[in-house]
Structure 1
Amino acid sequence: MNFNNQTVIITGASRGIGRGVAESYAEAGAHVILADVQEDEGRKLEQKLKDQGRLADFIPCDVRKEEDVIRLVDFAAESAGGINIVINNAGVSRWKSPYDLTIEEWDDVLNTNVRSSFLLSREAAKHMKKQESGGSIVQISSTRSVMSEPNSEAYAASKGALVALTHALAISLGPDRIRVNCISPGWIETGAYDKLRQIDHEQHPSRRVGVPQDIVKACFYLTDPENSFVTGSHLVVDGGMTRKMIYEP
């Protein structure tokens, strides 16, 4: 797809799904604003993309801090002349028994995964609403918004909140031509794909584990300016696993 003349902010851009999304938007012609708390990795990715002739800028950003988010948005708007797309991807997890999870750990997960997405959406929308084309925001949630394993309370709550935040923002920002959608990835392998077992693939109705490019394609679809009728949606990309009944034999 062609995203020439589009400015895209991506949080959590230095690794995993965020990195795959950032590289793909850059390859498609966008000016990518890479935001991450991992400064060394972020700057390496920025240099890699620039060496490829891509438009890329890395901004150190702790998405839990309002001042960092505002600084990120101001840089993007000033350096690129506007903001077209935001991908709220940054996130953390805590796999810990609810009996032992501290309130500080709970708050850190919710602040990193949810509050940051609201803050960035709010600040970016202030610029998007001034543009004739409006803009597009995508929240990266998780299938854990609708299903769980033990000891995932904070993470599940944060990802469920992102789904709800999506439809609320879609309604509030719709009059300003700003579309807001959500993607819930399932198992997306960002490490050694060739180390996966056959059973890992075969348990999926799709017969394979996902890769970052699967989420890239979903982002491209949801942020394509021609898809102006798509807003408030929750797109599950999980190889069919949330539709599969699982019982012990």
Structure 2
Amino acid sequence: MKKREENLLNCVIKEHIRTGQPVGSDLLAGKHGLKLSSATIRNEMAELEKRGYLTHPYTSAGRIPTEKGYYFYLENFLEEKELDKKIKNNLKKVKKQFKKSPQFLLKEIAKILTESSEGTILVSSQPHDVYFTGLTNLFSQPEFREFGLISHLSRVIDHFDEQIENIFTQIDEEVEVMVGRKNPFNEECSMIITKYHLPEGSKGIIGILGPMRMDYEHNLALLKYIKELLNRPAA
């Protein structure tokens, strides 16, 4: 892919993550350091669509990223992000407050994750033992306002425990990103998930489920910090 096409794809994805709306050439012209005319941007976006990185809803002239586009973004443009100090301090306080009660600790951390990630949070200490919160975050996203899709997502959520059993054996120790069809819960969503180990010996998985246009940089920073915090011996 040419450098100009890479930069344009990066801009489309970042703009779509920010707004949740299809991105048009007029919006991009002059933004993000793109010194290109609207006509040139339209031609480049059409080429990116032909190659499978972008698509467009039939009701809009703007483009949105495809699963292939998101993976290109994750592999080439993702930047390490430092987690906000306020969020870190809140998580540390919860860890200290509930250090002798792992079950309550994980639920309180899930609540903070829900607010900070704007996603649905799953926590499981063992297969068939699943706690999730933040469903309103998922259903309030513009992508999921169609009744049919909401109904489908609801059925998926009803079977979280069945999927969790498979997830336990599939993921390794690193924080993992699953986009679209690689996400076992729903191909319309993305999942960032990892295993955790508590100092007293218990372990499990914790993850953020959200739309494919989730803020990957922020949510990865969240889960990486939480993984490290949970693994750390209590002060």
TM-score (norm: length of structure 2):
0.29
Answer 1 or 2: which has greater helix percent: 2
The normalised TM-score by structure 1 is 0.28
